[in-house]
Amino acid sequence: MLEGFARFARNRMALFGATVLVCLLLLVLLTPVIYPDDPFKLAGPALQPPGGRFLLGTDTLGRDVAAEIAYGARTSLIIGVGATLAAIVFGAVAGGVAGYYRGRTETVLMRITEFFQTIPAFIFALLIVAILSPSVSSEIIAIAAVSWPSIARLVRGEFVSLGGREFVQACAGLGASDARVIFSHMLPNCASSIIAVGSLLIGTAILLEAGLAFLGLGDPNVMSWGLIISAGRAVLRSAWWICTFPGIAILLTVLGINLIGDGLNEALNPRLRER
Amino acid sequence: MRFARYMGYRLVTALPVILGIIVLNFLLIHLAPGDAASVLAGESGAATPEYMDELRHKFGLDQSLGMQFLTYVSNMAHFNLGYSYRNDADVSSLIIERLWPTSLLMLTAFGTAVALGIILGLVAATGRNSWRDNIISLISLVAYATPGFWLGLMMIVIFSIGLGWLPTSGFDTVGAGHEGWAEVWDVARHLVMPAVSLALFYLALYARLMRASVLEQTGMDYVTTARAKGQTERRIMTGHVLRNALLPIVTIAGVQAGNLIGGSIVVETVFGWPGIGTLAFNALQSRDLNLLLAIFFMSACLIVIINLIVDVIYVMLDPRMEI
């Protein structure tokens, strides 16, 4: 794996992605210092164009767009990372059980996984948030609910190929419990592929979150990029900047994460490396 | 004859998916906090007590959970999707009414994405690491990270508000009374921006996939054989590689069809396109959950049909496929 990270560091695109992400993390950490006020608070006159006293202008209510974007970054990262972690835990358990026990358990679990991959993901996520009522936690649940199948399939595939390996059979032969074989021997061996695929899931999760918030399903008490765009839409004709800058923030963040994900995939997934 | 039998078999295996959606919908209704009837009626407060009673009776909510489920399945199996109080219309007729604009938008976006994606992927793969390859890769990376609704808004700013070339929203010019080709042209002008916003992400996806797929195929032994026989590079590409490289694209395209429906919700909302997406957005605004669930059910049925079509294309492309 260390060798893999060295390969990652030689990939210029991946390094660019990492730079973007580091800048974003710095922004999130410094937000309370740069913008100590609540982003929902009025900061000045409404609809100020960018460049004046407000770097990125103000919105219809006179809130500072730059402050809104800075606070939105935190929301996007929390939801993106939170939903991906939840999807990984759930997907790894489902895929791990299927790949370890095989037989009928595997058939049933994989049919369920395929089912969740077939249904229209975005509408399903939308329904979950609408039913649980919009909040950060229901967005995380909804995004995780549509993201876990790819992890489940990945972990199942890895487990099936690891199952026949000598070290796994040796453990089982020595009398190790199923849980011990799964958690301390097999899962660590799929860690690199999970990291690579999981990093790409974060980007998808952030895009999904933006779409949900744009449709009015974001947490109404938390600032998010989708929310700013959806509020700015009504004045698109006179104030282009309200919608433009949060979108650029989404684009750069997702691009950075995808580049890192691609880099990790190339560095850590031996099977993809030959391509 | 064998083909007909195969299709019959595929239809039967598709049934569990439909049933699964019905189960999922049923669970979602009961997952919601509060009375299922108020969930179905919408939290708008527009429903009268009589209507709530009618709902309770219709969905069998006054009976045991098992009976409720059977009633629900039978309702769905008869496409008896309920009544939308907010829209004052039958849910199934509401959806059917909106089917044409959505199909037009999705087919245009899907066709563009697949066709252009395949061409760009092919161009990128044949000139591997050339400037063309690099530009195509860069564009697809950016397109892959762009939210469709934001792209739509930016196009409105540039092409409608700034340059005044294209209309901002709607299906056609209201009250213009165009007929024949004038109407087609009018709708096409309204269609351009929504279709591009919806297509771009998938275009990038297919271009990336096609590039990888062509590169994988060119390393195969049969390509070396063809080259040894003295065939031209062009003939190797069109006669051998292309057909094999298309297979994974067809598979992924079938899987992605479901996501295209989801994407059309945000894009239709941006452009006020009078399709199922806008219907879903309005249902969301008025918390008309029954309508939303019906849209979910219908789109899942649509996906099952699309997957059947994909199977047919797959068999046509690859004669080795056992049917």
- What is the widest separation between alpha-carbon atoms in chain B? 81
Q: What is the mean pLDDT of residues B93-112?
A: 87
Name which of B260, B275, B240, B243 is nearest B200 in CA terms.
B260
Which of A21-35, A82-96, B254-268 tops mean pLDDT? Answer: A82-96
How far apart, in whole angstroms, are the C-alpha atoms of residue B122 and residue B214? 7
Residues of B in contact with A210 (CB under 8 A): 147, 149-150
Tell whether pTM > 0.90.
no
The architecture that CATH gives domain B92-317 is Orthogonal Bundle (1.10)
Domain segments of chain B as ranges: 16-78, 92-317
**Residue A94: predicted pLDDT:** 92
| A→B interface, C-beta within 8 Å | 111, 115, 117-124, 126-128, 130-133, 203, 207, 210-211, 214-217, 229, 233, 236-237, 240, 243-244, 246-247, 250-255, 258-259, 275
How far apart, in whole angstroms, are the C-alpha atoms of residue A127 and residue A139? 11
Nearest CA in chain A to B215: A275
User: What is the bridge-based pairing of β-strands B89-90 and B83-84?
Assistant: antiparallel
Inter-residue contact A217 to A130 (CB < 8 Å): yes
Inter-residue contact A123 to B261 (CB < 8 Å): yes
Q: Which of A126, A147, A238 to mutate to test the interface with B (most CBs of B within 10 A)?
A: A126
How close A275 comes to chain B (CA, Å)? 7
Name which of A25, A33, A57, A31 is nearest A43 in CA terms.
A57
How far apart, in whole angstroms, are the C-alpha atoms of residue B302 and residue B258? 8
CB contact under 8 A, A215 and B266: yes
Range from A92-96, A261-265, B110-114 carrying the lowest mean pLDDT: A261-265
How far apart, in whole angstroms, are the C-alpha atoms of residue B251 and residue B314? 8
**Position B36 pLDDT exceeds 70:** no
**Position B258 pLDDT exceeds 80:** no
CB contact under 8 A, A123 and B280: yes
How far apart, in whole angstroms, are the C-alpha atoms of residue B268 and residue B194? 7
**Position B323 pLDDT exceeds 60:** no
How far apart, in whole angstroms, are the C-alpha atoms of residue A8 and residue A81? 21
Domain segments of chain A as ranges: 2-30+50-273
**Position A270 pLDDT exceeds 70:** no
How close A242 comes to chain B (CA, Å)? 11
**Residue B70: predicted pLDDT:** 79
Higher pLDDT, B171 or A207: A207
Quickly list DSSP for A206-236: HHHHHHHHHTT-S-TTS--HHHHHHHHGGGT
Specify which residues B83 forms β-bridges with: B90
Contacts 24+ apart (CB under 8 A), A231-240: A231/A59, A231/A60, A232/A59, A232/A60, A233/B153, A233/B270, A234/A60, A235/A47, A235/A60, A236/B153, A236/B156, A236/B157, A236/B161, A237/B161, A238/A47, A239/A47, A239/A49, A239/A57, A239/A59, A239/A60, A240/B157, A240/B161
> Does ipTM come in above 0.90?
no
Higher pLDDT, B164 or B202: B202
Put simply, whether B262 touches A (Cβ < 8 Å) is yes
Q: Which amino acid is at A59?
A: D
Q: What is the mean pLDDT of residues B241-250?
A: 81
Inter-residue contact A200 to A261 (CB < 8 Å): yes
CB contact under 8 A, B153 and A233: yes
The total of other beta-carbon atoms located within 10 Å of residue B204's CB is 24
| CATH number for the domain whose boundaries are A2-30+50-273 | 1.10.3720.10
Q: What is the mean pLDDT of residues B31-44?
A: 64
Find where tokens 């993201």 sit: A147
- Residue A91: pLDDT band (50, 70, 90) is very high
